[in-house]
Structure formats: C-alpha cells, structure tokens
Structure 1
Amino acid sequence: MSAAAKPDLKLVGTSPGGWEALRAAAEATARAEPRLASHLDAAILSRKDFAGALCVQIARKLGDTDLPAMSVREVCEEAVAADPAIVSAAMADLEAVLERDPASKGPLQPFLYFKGYQALQAHRVAHWLWREGREVLAFHFQSRVSELFQVDIHPAARLGRGLFFDHGTGIVIGETAVVGDDVSMLHAVTLGGTGAERGDRHPKIGNGVLLGAGAKVLGNITVGDEAKVASGSVVLKPVPARCTVAGVPARLVNCPAGEAPARTMDHTLAEVVYDFVI
C-alpha cells in the first residue's frame, strides 16, 4: 500500500461498510442492548472517525502485559496517519464481509467480533511496521494475532484490499506471499513454502481468487485472477486465470471457473475432471 494512497471516499459515507453505517449500527445496538452501551460508546460512538474506532478495536484485542492497549493504539494511530490506505483497505474488507458472508447481520458484528476481519486489520498495521524497518514490533503484532485468532500471517506478506477471511481459524500466509484484491479464503488455508528454501518461496494469488477451506498452495507459484481452488486441495503448480482446480495433487476441473468466484462464494465443481495434473 502506498503512503500516498487516499481512502476510497465512497466507503466513508453511508455504504454498508462505511463509518456512518457502523455508527448507526452501534447506536441501535446500544439502545436494544443497554448492557453493551458502555462498550459500544468506548469502542465506536465516542470516536470521531473509522480510523479512531479501528485503532481502539485493534488495541483492545492485542494489548497485553508486554505491550499495553494504549501502546498498541498509539502504534496503530501512527500507522494510519502515515498510510491512510490502511483505513481504506479496512473499509473495503468490511464491505467484502457484508457482501459475501450470509452470517453477517451488519457492519457491527464483523467489526467487533469476526476474528478473520480483525486479524487482517492487525496484519495491515504489522505490515506497515515491517516496511518501516521495525521488525521486532511487527513480529510482536504477528505473535499476538496468532495467539488470539489462530491466524498466522508473516508481517512481510503483501495483502490487497477487499479481502474476506471466512472463520479465519488456521489461515497461514508466508513471508513472501502476495495476495491480490477481492480474494476470499476460508479457514485452514495455507499459502506456504515447499521446504527450507530461502528467498521468494511463497504463492502469488491473483485478484478475485476463491480459496476453499483447507486449501494448501505451496511454493513460489501463481494462482491466476478469478481462479478457484477447491476445499482440501494441494496446489503445487501454477493455476491459470479463471480456472478451477481440485484434489491432491490439484487437477484442473474446469475453465473458466465461473464469473467472480470470490464474490459469489460458489464452491461447486464441474462434473467432468480433466485427465491431467497441472
């Protein structure tokens, strides 16, 4: 993310993942559930903007005796001030959850309680720290995210915007992995290496890719735009754009995979499997 990048203004207003929608949801919930009113006020209603609420939420989750919540919040505020694209991406991620997850009832639920969403936002701050050369603090963030959410993303990994981590549990993303925009992945996805090799050794995931539960993509290989990797597959060779792969090892199932699989969350497979390994 470029430090010069500007937030997407359409996400700041009344869109489902925008600040006004989040505040409205918090206000309605505070009225309906008075026992949560104090919490909602501290987390959202007393904040002046989405960035402030986001940093409070990250701090509430990651703070511990080693790095108190106030210190985490200060680091987050430093990051979003230096790189507004962190906030823009967080809003786009919230939009992605609301678009793709039928279990989500509004912006408040994922913002406060969905660990896939929260792990992703904490990673964005950790990645900023990594790019600033503050590697030890970046690793502290990674460690806390792994402990809390069971999501392990190396702080050097480069992730796009509009991402959806469904459930989140068990997701592992390696140091040199790159994930494009509008990608959806379910629990237990691994973007890993194939051994102890050094250097650029992790997958490159294109835009709009759907990675099913338990999918393993291993090595410095490319998964093309709008491809689909079926649940439980082990992918060891490049996947063409807009194709579906399935199995161990992964085989081509059909090309094209279908329009915008990451947005439709369509995990179905074609009946005929091509008789060759990719």
Structure 2
Amino acid sequence: MKKDHLNTPDFDVWQAIREETEEAVAAEPLLASFLHQTVLRHATIDSVLAYHLSSKLSSAIMDARALFEMYVQALSSDPAIIEAVKLDLLACYERDPACDEYSLPLLYFKGFHAIQAHRINHWLYTNGRKTLAYFLQNRSSEVFGVDIHPAARFGSGLMLDHATGFVVGETAVLGNNISILHGVTLGGSGKESGDRHPKVGDGVMIGANA
C-alpha cells in the first residue's frame, strides 16, 4: 500500500527517498554501492538529480564532472526548478500505479529524467546559453528517446510515463498536473514562424501516440 503524504503538511519527499533507499540497501546488498553513490552520499535532492543527469548525459565531448557542476549551478540559481522536481516526483507516485516508492522515478524512470533535463535546458536557454541548451537537447534525445525544444514551457506536477517518442516543439506550453504517455507529439501547426505549437491546460491527460 502506498504511503499517504496528502494528510501530512510537513511531508518531506527527500527524507522519504532517503529512508526508502536505506531500506533498499538492507534488502539488496548487491546494489548497496550503487544506492550509496546515487542517493545516500548526497546531502540534497538537488545533488542527487544533478548526479543522475550528469551521469546519463555525459559524453566524450562533455564529461560528467563539468555537467554536474553546471546542473548544480542551475538548480541553486532557480529554486523554482527543484520545487517543480518535487511536484513531478509526487505526480509519478500518485498517478502511476507501478510507482509505489518516491525514490523510483528519481532512480529509474527515464520520463522523469527527461522532464528534469528539459527544465534545466530551459533555464540555460532563457539565461543566454542557447548553444549549450541545444547541445543537451540533442543529448537527451539520444539517451532518453525524447525531443523537447529548450524553449518549450512546462508547468509542475508532470508525469511522463514511459516517455519513448515524446516530441515537443518550440512554442508549446504545458500547464500543471498533466499526465502524458509515450509517443505523444506536440508538433507545429504548419505556420512558418511564430506561435505554432499546442498549449495544454492544467489537469490534462494525453494518451499514447496522440
């Protein structure tokens, strides 16, 4: 049975993740090193997210350490990003029947990782670092199987289930508390320029291959 955080105003999702991870270490010693490296040795959820994204998106061109430092800088510069991250975690837990622990999206769900990579790409894009944002968009597309333009605007409480084949254009806007399945394309309307991509309101669910 899922733990109920809704009736506890002081619920701390980071503390819940640490407790779940400690239980996982005890239950599966073979993964103890992995779980310590990816969660337990970090002091904040910001550091954990930066570690996961930098590990997954690093390459021969951009090493993991440089990416980690850049992600930490972005998360510390805009606290709204990490607040959205936490709401996305809760959205996965609440809406995905297969997600029975808060730590699962952070550790294993590529849809969650793709959304968070985009949040930081958008921060880069809007803070004058478009070249790096485009580079990391391309890298995210290769690693996660999604293609989200860095200019696209996302709300919070988003759940991207499975994620493969998710495509979002430049002027698309997603509201809050949205659930999206795989293969969804928020593509252009055919206009040559300007505002040409869908606007998705709050509380919407978009089915597979829409």
TM over 0.5: yes
Deviation at 1:121, TM superposition (A): 0.5
Report what 2:35 is aligned to.
Answer: 40
Give runs of ≥4 in structure 1 deviating > 4 Å: 10-13
Is the CA contact (8 Å cut-off) linking 1:11 and 1:91 kept in structure 2?
A: no
Find the aligned partners of 1:138 and 1:54 in 2 and give their Cα distance.
Answer: 17
The one-letter code matched in structure 2 to 1:163 is L
1:150 is matched with: 145
Question: Which residue of structure 2 aligns with residue 78 of structure 1?
Answer: 73
Given residue 142 of structure 1, which amino acid in structure 2 is its aligned partner? Q
The one of 177, 186, 197 equivalent to 1:191 is 186
Once the two structures are superposed, the pairs formed by residues 94-109 of structure 1 within 5 Å of their partners are: 94-109=89-104
Within 1, Cα distance between the matches of 2:80 and 2:21?
A: 24
Helix, strand or coil at the partner of 2:165: coil
Cα deviations by residue, 1:135-160 (Å, 9 ceiling, x for unpaired) = 11001111111101111100000000
**CA distance in structure 2 between the partners assigned to 1:11 and 1:180 by the alignment:** 25
List aligned pairs for 1:1-278, cutoff 5 A.
Answer: 14-15=11-12, 18-195=13-190, 197-215=192-210
The 2-side partners of 1:70 and 1:125 are apart by 16
- Of Structure 1 and Structure 2, the greater strand share is in 1
Matches of 1:197 and 1:58, distance apart in 2:
34
- Tell me the percent identity: 48
How much does 1:110 deviate?
A: 1.3
1:92 touches 1:161 (CA, 8 Å); kept in 2? yes
Match of 2:4 in 1: none
Q: Structure 2: how far apart are the matches of 1:47 and 1:56?
A: 9
Distance in 1 between residues matched to 2:8 and 2:45, nearest whole Å: 10
Could you tell me how far apart the structure 2 residues matched to 1:39 and 1:147 are? Answer: 24
Matched to 2:198, the amino acid is P
Q: CA shift at 1:57, angstroms?
A: 1.0
TM-score, normalization: structure 1? 0.71
Task: Tell me the residue number matched to 1:264.
Answer: none
Contact between 1:12 and 1:20, CA under 8 Å: does it hold in 2? Answer: no
SS in 2 for 1:48: coil
Which structure 1 segments of 5+ residues have no match? 1-9, 216-278
- Return the offset for 1:184: 0.7
Q: Tell me the number of residue pairs that the alignment of Structure 1 and Structure 2 aligns.
A: 204
Structure 2 Cα separation of the partners of residues 24 and 109 of structure 1:
13
Consecutive unaligned residues in structure 2, runs of 5 or more: 1-6
Query: Matches of 2:154 and 2:176 in 1, distance apart?
Result: 8
Q: C-alpha separation between the residues in 2 aligned to 1:193 and 1:68?
A: 34
Post-superposition offset of 1:109: 1.7
Alpha-carbon distance in structure 1 between the residues aligned to 2:16 and 2:170: 35
Inter-partner Cα distance in structure 2 for 1:55 and 1:19: 14
Q: 1:230 maps to which residue?
A: none
